[in-house]
Amino acid sequence: MKDEITVSEIKKHLKSSFDVILKDITGSTNTDAKNLALGGAREGTVVISKAQTAGRGRMNRKFFSPDDSGVYMSLVLRPETGGEKSLLITTAAAVSVSLSLDKIFGIDTKIKWVNDIYYNNKKVCGILAESVFAGDDSFCVLGIGINVYPPENGFPDDIRNKAGYLTQSFRGNLKNRIIAETLETFIGIYENIEAKEFLSIYRDKNMLSGKIVEVPSKGKAKVIDVDDEFHLVIEFEDKTTASLMTGEVIINL
């Protein structure tokens, strides 16, 4: 059974106004969305592809994007404060994806700071928000990649132990529902994003809270909390504390 992505089915589940562009295959939906935004595309333009050949995540890592198994989309945003909202956008996206997947599948997904979504201790979604400043123009492109089904030939060796998927049971119209639900949930948060009303949900879904993690080049630390600016508060073995603004931490699951 095929779970085909179609513009018409996505729009059946949308209440807000989005310009939906669907491709069979592309290099990167983030690159496509950037080019559209540079050409004047409005906020709410979303590029979706059934597969990517050059999908990427944070820190220039590749994002495995095979045909038929996932949802790969990028949304053009034009926040009034430009790139200053980047961290708010990426954390709001994490909450939006997590809530949407929980609703559709009846599960309890978690967020690994900053913006990875985990289910059954496996990463099922990566998020990449990129701010662009071009002369007088500024915008943000929000990329979301979700592993819905297991890839036909399995995950590559370098991610096999940490990558996961949401279901093995193919269902018609599932990916369309995931796309629409995620977009609707995100835009509902985005419209009042500076109020940070989603912070409490982010904290509740923080899978690192109370865990021992490895901070690259700094050693082991215990995660205390996420502060009001979405920075990760950690305590090292010598009882000194730090607040991480960017980067990543490593946890053995």
Indicate the average pLDDT of the chain. 92
The residues near 59 (Cβ < 8 Å, ≥ 6 apart) are: 248
Check residue 201 and give its pLDDT: 98
Query: From the centroid of its chain, how far is CA 179?
Result: 12
Asked if residue 64 has pLDDT above 70, the reply is yes
Residue 181, number of CB atoms within 10 A of its CB: 19
Based on the domain organization, do 117 and 230 belong to the same domain?
Answer: no
More confident residue, 193 or 252: 193
Based on the domain organization, do 186 and 238 belong to the same domain?
Answer: no
Query: From the centroid of its chain, how far is CA 188?
Result: 16
Strand order across the 19-23 sheet: 19-23, 45-49, 70-77, 137-147, 122-134, 116-119, 110-112
Q: Report the distance separating Cα 190 and Cα 89, nearest Å.
A: 7
Asked if residue 240 has pLDDT above 70, the reply is yes
> How confident is the model over 165-171, as a mean pLDDT?
92
Q: Report the distance separating Cα 6 and Cα 12, nearest Å.
A: 10
Q: Which long-range CB contacts under 8 A does 10-13 form with residues at least 24 apart?
A: 10/48, 10/176, 10/179, 10/180, 11/180, 12/176, 12/180, 13/176, 13/177, 13/179, 13/180, 13/181, 13/184
Based on the domain organization, do 133 and 224 belong to the same domain?
Answer: no
pLDDT digits (tens, 9 = 90+) for 174-204: 999 999 999 999 999 999 999 999 999 999 9
Check residue 1 and give its pLDDT: 58
Domain holding 232, by residue range, is 212-244
Rg (CA), the chain: 18
Based on the domain organization, do 186 and 105 belong to the same domain?
Answer: yes
> DSSP for 221-253?
EEEEEE-TTSPEEEEETTS-EEEE-SS--B---
Based on the domain organization, do 234 and 197 belong to the same domain?
Answer: no
CATH of the domain at 164: 3.30.930.10
Based on the domain organization, do 162 and 237 belong to the same domain?
Answer: no
Based on the domain organization, do 101 and 219 belong to the same domain?
Answer: no
Q: Residue 133: which H helix or E strand, with range? A: strand 122-134
Q: Report the distance separating Cα 201 and Cα 220, nearest Å.
A: 26
Number of domains the chain is built from:
2
Flag whether 100 is in a domain: yes
Question: Quick one: pLDDT band at residue 62, thresholds 50, 70, 90?
Answer: confident
Flag whether 2 is in a domain: no
pLDDT digits (tens, 9 = 90+) for 97-143: 999 999 999 999 999 999 999 999 999 999 999 998 877 888 999 99
The residues near 107 (Cβ < 8 Å, ≥ 6 apart) are: 101, 119, 166
Residue 159, number of CB atoms within 10 A of its CB: 15
Check residue 56 and give its pLDDT: 72
Based on the domain organization, do 152 and 228 belong to the same domain?
Answer: no
